[in-house]
Amino acid sequence: MQTYLTEINYDKLIEKSLKNVVIEALKIAEDQGLPGENHFYITFKTNHPQTKISAQLKSQYPEEMTIVLQHQFSNLLVDKNSFCVDLSFGGIPQTLTIPYDAIIYFADPYAKFGLSFNEEINGKHENNSDLASNGESSQTTSVESREASAPARVISIDAFRKK
């Protein structure tokens, strides 16, 4: 028996479409590597149930961490619900599996493009306030602290177009 919705949740539809932008960008990097100066900053929830990282990284970053895919990554595999990548932390190679649902921020500083995704906290969606990158280039792994943002705001898509 088919269930019918009582309303259309446009926020979820938009977020799903924007996650597909991230997936397609990762697929390009998987197929041909990163073109030119493009590189990705990806912040994700380390405590998401499907996130797979080493115990050492989990203890170092118990809630979230940011990885940078630029020059020093390998074995990028993009699947239906997650991606895997090999990165080196302190000279020790490690494989990370990151579900798309765990991603809370994605940016390509070279393209001046960034996306911030809603987080579900106690059954309610919270939106991260960071929507664009600062344009800096880095090959290190860092943690960015994020606070729950103010109420949602309308953003013109023109702000994300390359000029």
Which tokens go with 25? 């960008």
Q: What is the CATH number of the domain that holds 74?
A: 2.30.30.220
d(Cα 38, Cα 117) in Å, to the nearest integer? 21
| Dist. CA 74–CA 80, nearest whole Å | 19
Give CA–CA dist 130/133, Å, rounded.
8
Task: Give me the chain's average pLDDT, please.
Answer: 79
pLDDT band at 54 (very low <50, low <70, confident <90, very high): very high
What is the amino acid identity at position 56? Q
Query: What is the domain range of residue 53?
Result: 10-149
Q: Is the pLDDT of residue 61 over 70?
A: yes
Q: Give the count of domains, the chain.
A: 1
The full DSSP string for 40-58 is EEEEEETTSTT-B--HHHH
Q: Is residue 4 part of a domain?
A: no
pLDDT band at 158 (very low <50, low <70, confident <90, very high): low
* Residues 44, 49, 52, 56, Cα dihedral to 10°: 80
Is 50 contained in some domain? yes
pLDDT digits (tens, 9 = 90+) for 89-132: 888 899 999 999 999 999 999 999 999 987 654 444 444 433 33
Q: Token pair for residue 149?
A: 């943002």
Evaluated on CA atoms 140, 130, 64, 100, the torsion sign reads negative
Please state the rounded mean pLDDT for residues 131-157: 37
Q: CB–CB of 38/28 below 8 Å?
A: no
Higher pLDDT, 154 or 95: 95
- 91-92-96 Cα angle (round to 5): 125
Domain-embedded: residue 44: yes
pLDDT at 160 over 80: no
The gap from C-alpha 51 to its chain's centroid, in whole angstroms, comes to: 12
Does the residue 162 lie in any domain?
A: no
pLDDT value for 1: 75
Residue 3 lies in a domain: no
